[in-house]
Structure 1
Amino acid sequence: MKKWLLSGVAVLMLSPTAAYAQNAETHTVETSPKNAFNGMSSSKITTWDKLINEVAQQMNNFSTEIKVAYSGPMADFNKNIMQVLESAQKQAIYASGHLEGVSITSDSEGNITFKVKYFTNQTQEAAVQKKVDQVLKTIIKPSMTQFQKVKAVNDYIVSNATYGNKTKASPHSAYALLMEGQAVCQGYALLAYKMLQQAGIETQYVVGYVNSSEGHAWNMVKLDGKWYHLDTTWNDPLPNRVGASSYDYFLVTDAQLKKDHSWIASDYPVATSTAYNYMQNVHFAYQINNMLYFSNTADNDKLYKLDLTNGKKTKVMDSRALYITGVGDDLYYSDYSNGGYLTKMSLKTLKTGVLVKQPVSDLMIKDNNLVYKVNAKEQKLKIN
């Protein structure tokens, strides 16, 4: 995933291709003794701090041209301009995460123009805001704990997203993920950032690497005064598997994440709490109230339940259950201890019955139907 590196008077953007190759594009600060400034300044600025605030505010509005008239100290002008851009990005995290490129021009009278390219635009961001408002009203309730809110956002993103770049909008944007259901890690992390912030969760947008050299983005969240890592991209299996999700990168520590992620640790908070380690090895989860039924990857994918009130895990049965979904007290899954057959279990009696004697996958509930695949072909089964 792309990352900004600031050096001297250059803004260096690293942006991966679909194969994660990184290509550098440089945008320089240009200064001229001539009056190259086009148009009147929209703001008159007398200090560098005020300039930072102005640029950040305009970036938050996804302005593509930011014009200011600066009349403060001129010493180390180029260096200070780059510091302004860097500081403004830290104030406008969501917008700066969408940055594609910036060029800066100025004249000897202090007129400065920032021309900004984003992976999104104001129209798309208005649509994102409207959709986020609607989604949060549905998935977030006032009585929820911070943990429940983070889980709700994670689950929504993972359930409604596919990792990829075959989108009309930029796959690096939250818009592509939210409106087209597909994006790369940048889109996942930016949407998570926006939704969590709006849900009242303190969060950070993190840029780093995976597998030593591949650019990547994820989030950190603060719960009960402690920081944790949250990687919604890696909680969504690749290649995409409908009905599949995991929590292996859900509220984890620095030590856990460092197994396959790297980042500049000094730029971010320390995450050492293991309070939510009970979410590890949880795949294909289906939740009823505070009970989570799941495939336990630590025990050969056998069916377990997790009490979210105390973190206790209990084996439900010895059968290997994948693609778990459900309606009310009925659980549906692919029984990999019995040919991958479509199986139904009553959670009240724990009695099971085979519904389809063929290997099935990608189970989901849609419009009162149990939707699944047999030999990659979609099938439907009406449920009461």
Structure 2
Amino acid sequence: MATEDRAVVEAVKASGKSTLKRAKAKANETIGQFFNVTLDIAVTGKTGSGKSSFVNSIRGLSDDDEGAAPTGVIEITTKPTKYVHPTMPNVKIWDLPGIGSPNFRAKKYLKDVQFKIYDFFIILNSERFTENDIMLAKEIRKQKKHFYFVRSKIDIDISSEQRKARFNEQKVLDTIRDYCVRNLNELGNPEVFLISSVDWQKYDFEKLQNTLTDDLPDHKQSALLQAWPMCSAATLEKKIKLFKGLTWAASLASVGVAVIPIPGTSVACDAAIALVFLSRCYYAFGLDDRSLKRLSEKVNMSLLEYRAKSKFANAIQKKAVTTIHVGASVVTMSCCADLVSLLPGVGSGLAAGLSFASTQYLLREGVNELAKTAGEIRKLAGLDTIY
């Protein structure tokens, strides 16, 4: 069909390749990488700095959620502990032992925690950064990896300062930041990110995400962006851009499919690729039960009912969520029944083998509708929104 021809030409152009054959090969590589790329984040710092709470925050969990890293007033982590992201199984956050010992040796520490595993290090402190933090940063720098200084528990500092008559939040933040930077001047005044693990919407949580993303190789950026909690409208916009930019690859990869291994599956059929792609989108946009319940608690209003207005969210929530964990379990054609039925005039014919144009339509409509639903929910919650 002419429509299909135009769609294929458009996809070939998006791939940057000159022929359909080469475009398909590029699509298989791109979407396979999208599903399978790994990211290992190391979180370390002084005992009591809030490492475990920060690990939970990145994973979109509260400290008392099932599967959360245990927290406490004493050092709980005695060896590197891996926490798999609940919706992105190829993203792992490692809670490393504290570095507060007077006999701390950075080189030995990095050897003990298996330095080479991690893509980058986050060095946390809830007070001032110490000589141990500096020693560790220097050793990481020698090994040519990135490190980031994060000053945690800012919400507690602000709450304490609010009791004062002439309280000025920005002045307090500037004072804390300057104090931290002064202690790190021998490293060339590195940037310090001020964060609260209980409130992603405030302080430097989004700025930290942007910096991490910019420093990562291209193929790792998508993993971080999908896994990072929804801390602002700008974060949502970046996630939307990511998925829209990959619809051509998912569409081409799902037609006349070469084998695309997805974690937990031996082969992904055409409809399954579409399903896993839109399921990733659903979770990344914060439309899953856990994300919406947490947001509902924060703004003191029920938001789950608004998700029900999205046909795609309903289809994924009712079928996909009970059958897959974002690519971690076996995906079958039967999971796609509700998604397939959304396409006018296609019906069961699509289940037998999605045409490229139909697949591309399905993915574009799905991303657009899920994005619109996420934006409208943020608006209803009284948060900043791009809509």
TM-score by length of 2: 0.28
- Please state which structure has a larger fraction of its residues in helix: 2
Relative contact order higher in (CA < 8 Å, ≥ 6 apart): 2
- Please state which structure has a larger fraction of its residues in strand: 1
Structure showing greater radius of gyration is: 1
TM-score by length of 1: 0.29
